[in-house]
Amino acid sequence: MTNDLVSVVIPVYNAEACIADTIRSIKSQTYKNFEIILVDDGSTDDSVNVISEFLCENIRLITGKGGSAAIARNTGIEEAKGRYIAFLDADDLWDPEKLEKQLAFMEKHNAAFSFTGYEFADEYGVSVKKLVQVPLKINYKQALKNTTIFTSTVIFDMDKLSKSLIMMPNVKSEDTATWWKVLKTGITAYGLNEGLTLYRRSRGTLSSNKIEALRRIWNLYRKVEGLSIPYSAVCFCFWAVRAVIRRM
């Protein structure tokens, strides 16, 4: 299996309660050739001080340009040195074998873009034993109807992609917009159907606001992708059904 460097990009905003656990979950990986790029987006809590205790040659803290998670992630992408770029949110956790298994999976399928299944966790990072399964492959048209690609599971192979292609637009649900942008070029995303990430759902987060989620996805269809109202409605219905199923 490859032993190429993985750059893990983490946007940070007021994450003092969980960022130490997130960093430890990377340090505990069985695949050891990684760098961690933490981009602080103007935190007003003790996040920077917590992170400072972990800083070393392969763990860097960068002051972000401010404004959004998209801008923070793009700053991390610009700074990344690895062949692979992986994303992880500041409150999510990785299984110790996540990188090792996913990189082997990418090598097997010659994949430029991969993602994995994941489990929901409570605000303390404890799994609630709800696994979200993912398909082996997903293309652009399929992804419009199935937003199953979760940010903290994604890895890109930068030997096959350009940094400009994976830069995130400064819109709400910038991650989903990015997956669509990449897939629209004809690339297929490959899904490893194992729960290798814990998705921590805290009260008050954007993802927990269901009405806002509905608005965001509709905005992506109409204003970002430029889809017609009828086709947007079709995609929206498929998305809604699958979103409910994921949380059942």
pLDDT in tens, 80-100: 999 999 999 999 999 999 999
Is the pLDDT score of 48 beyond 50?
yes
C-alpha atoms less than 13 angstroms from C-alpha of 234 in its C-beta half-sphere? 8
pLDDT in tens, 96-123: 999 999 999 999 999 999 999 999 988 8
Of 220, 201, 198, nearest in space to 152 by CA: 198
Of 4, 33, 13, 8, nearest in space to 23 by CA: 8
Query: In this structure, what token pair is assigned to residue 107?
Result: 């090598």
Question: pLDDT band for position 248 (50/70/90)?
Answer: low
Question: pLDDT band for position 198 (50/70/90)?
Answer: very high
pTM score over 0.85:
yes
Please give the torsion angle defined by the CA atoms of residues 28, 3, 57 and 167, in that order, rounded to the nearest 10 degrees.
-90
Return the SS3 of 143. Answer: helix
More confident of the two residues 211 and 142? 142
Contact between 173 and 216 (Cβ < 8 Å): yes
Q: What is the mean pLDDT of residues 173-192?
A: 97
Q: Residue for token digits 């079709």?
A: 234
Beta-strand runs (E) in 64-154 = 84-87, 93-94, 113-121, 127-132, 137-138
pLDDT at 7: 98
DSSP 181: H
pLDDT at 127: 85
Percent of the chain with pLDDT strictly greater than 70: 95
Q: What is the mean pLDDT of residues 151-166?
A: 98
Is the pLDDT score of 247 beyond 70?
no
Contact between 108 and 32 (Cβ < 8 Å): no
